[in-house]
Structure 1
Amino acid sequence: MSDFLIDVVLILVKLGLIFGVLLTMAAYLVFAERRILGRMQLRHGPNRVGPFGLLQPAADAIKLLTKEDFIPAGADKVIFFIAPGLAAVTALLTFAVVPFAPPIELFGRQVPMVVCDLNVGVLYFLGLSSLAVYGVALGGWASNSKYALLGAIRSLAQLISYELSMGLAVIPVILMARSFSLTDIVLAQQGAPFLLLNPPAFLIFLISVVAESKRIPFDIPEAENEIVAGFHTEYSGMRFGLFFVGEYINMVILSSMITVFFLGGWLGPVLPPIVWFFAKVLACCFFFIWTRGTLPRLRYDQLMHFGWKVLVPLALLNVIVTGGVLLWIKG
């Protein structure tokens, strides 16, 4: 078999594995969230479908697939169809540059444990996170509903605001690693994770990704008691489900980015690297769930004030201080 065919086969295998693992994780994160929140709120959560309720995600999928799928009379049908897919696809594409283990020896060659090890992986991640807002915007606009449009506008304002602080929080990581490659960023943390070297960047990034994933206390896009159900008010069936699949895949992706940027990626003693990577990702996912069961929702004015008047100035200050310290150490 030629080297080209081997490369193609390896890429297809990695894509298939990532696709399967991400969809499975997204489905069972919903189940895990319902069980964990149930325990936090002194109730059981889903425990009837299958042993310990483990078949609940399959039951939810069947329910969504068999529910009536209706389209509002005045909706833009083409965009109405496309919008839910954008939310899920952009999240899936982001994982193409996430390294989840060091290269392994296979077929007499070093095979990187990443679909595409781009030397501008950070820019790729930031670019796709910017595209993710289109699914929300188009879903709300194409529905021809004032409630959905209002939810989409509020969502856009939130996502754009916190995307800025998220991008600024990544700059100190790039400065410390001296690379835009996610693999290089992980290898630069062999001495100590960037969480310990730059805690302010970690906190700013963590808060920003919680807002980017539209989770409590930043779940203004889905503030049910205020705007019915947000940008997906007019969706039903599997299209409604796709928005939530995209949300939970995005939670896994952002947890992976926290792991790569600040927690040392696959690095760790004793256990295999891939175990360390997924253990850190699942710990971050648990944090997302924990905040949902603990914190109250922010008001819209509080959310925007915190983003623009607190996080953005702190992130800019941290960039300046980090650059100054690195120059001082180099000098």
Structure 2
Amino acid sequence: MIASIMTNNIYFIIIKSIFILILLLICSALLSFYERRILAVFQNRYGPNRVGWCGLLQILADMIKLIFKEDWIPKFADKIIFIISPTFAFCSSMIIFAIIPISPTCYVVNLHIGLLFFLMIAGLTTYSILYSGWSSNNKYALLGAIRATAQTLSYEVFLGISLLGVVVKAGSFNLIEIVYSQQNTWNVLPQCLGFIMFLIAALAIVHRHPFDQPESEQELIDGYRIEYSGMKFGLFFISEYIGIISISGLITTLFFGGWLGPWLPHHVWFMLKTSFFITLIILIRASLPRPRYDQILKYSWTIYLPLSLINLLITAFCKLYYS
């Protein structure tokens, strides 16, 4: 009896995983088109508009180009690590979304240590960049990998500290329990400073503009991805957009009530909130310049980390005082 129940649960988890995998791949493809359209509006140009109605088939054209492009490996590269690194980046970005609850019943796994699991996987994503830069045997790729490692080490510290305020308020690391703790008030109101710190750190962890120093085109050509082509490059490309979706989903879950909302179904509220933050991340790319690399590291240790500690201390004091 117990064995059959466990087997059914495993099959159910596998089915949900496949469904969410397909959904994420479709969303990441659409997101690339959506971002190019928004950036085109900001830059006073048309954007993709040649292939298909309003350029919608440009996504399919890009996919076909990547699939049939020559899969080239540098002569002096470490071939095994060079091949594994894009797959590792893709899998680690996918795993993060597995813990995000879309509704009270729609999720892959419900972990009691969900936030700790997210921090662990977020740290692992750096290894794919480090290995890809080192295995390419290219100085620009290695410099980009070193930048990514230093940036992640700097911002991962206050990424975790910014989340501790939410944990103290909710009394749990479980994401579903954190959502239910926001039935009266969203966490963004008492944790507005923590939300800002988490948004900054999350952008740095996924290396999105203005924290895209590891792939700075003006200085490093394309950074750690310079020697990649074909679907290996495509996996890095897809993992970046999946990272944007995952971070937006986490912001929705941790600070904006997750699926909670009146009238509309739970999953609709989650998608609307997540779409808003995806758009916000794209608008940040369109609006802000890229600071210098030394400034990014300096701001992390001298400004963002102290502010995160102050937010945690204030939250702990209020929790102790009002309880």
TM-score, length basis structure 2: 0.97
CA distance in 2, matches of 1:47, 1:228: 27
Cα deviation 1:12-37 (Å, max 9, x = unaligned): 22112100111111111110000111
CA distance in 2, matches of 1:8, 1:240: 32
Choose from 303, 306, 314 the match for 2:299. Answer: 306
Cα deviation 1:59-105 (Å, max 9, x = unaligned): 111101111121111100000000011111001011121111013xx
Matches within 5 A, 1:17-166: 17-103=19-105, 113-166=106-159
Cα distance, 1:308 vs structure 2: 1.0
Instruction: Mark the runs of 5 or more structure 2 residues left unpaired by the alignment.
Output: none
Q: Which residue of 1 aligns with 2:272?
A: 279
Cα distance, 1:137 vs structure 2: 0.2
- 2:207 is paired with a residue whose SS is coil
**Contact 2:129–2:145 under 8 Å retained in 1:** yes
CA distance in 1, matches of 2:299, 2:51: 42
Q: Which residue of 2 aligns with 1:109?
A: none
Does residue 317 in structure 1 map to residue 310 in structure 2?
yes
Does residue 183 in structure 1 map to residue 176 in structure 2?
yes
- 2:287 is paired with a residue whose SS is coil
| Counterpart amino acid of residue 230 in structure 1 | G
Cα deviation 1:189-222 (Å, max 9, x = unaligned): 0001100121000010011111112111111111
| Counterpart amino acid of residue 148 in structure 2 | S
Instruction: Mark the runs of 5 or more structure 1 residues left unpaired by the alignment.
Output: 104-112
| Counterpart amino acid of residue 72 in structure 2 | F
Task: List structure 1 runs of 4+ shifted beyond 6 angstroms.
Answer: none
- 1:194 is paired with a residue whose SS is coil
Q: Which residue of 1 aligns with 2:204?
A: 211
CA distance in 1, matches of 2:209, 2:5: 48
Does residue 228 in structure 1 map to residue 221 in structure 2?
yes
CA distance in 1, matches of 2:8, 2:145: 44
Q: Percent identity?
A: 45
TM-score, length basis structure 1: 0.95
Give the length in aligned residue pairs: 321
Cα distance, 1:5 vs structure 2: 4.3
- 1:312 is paired with a residue whose SS is helix
| Counterpart amino acid of residue 39 in structure 1 | V
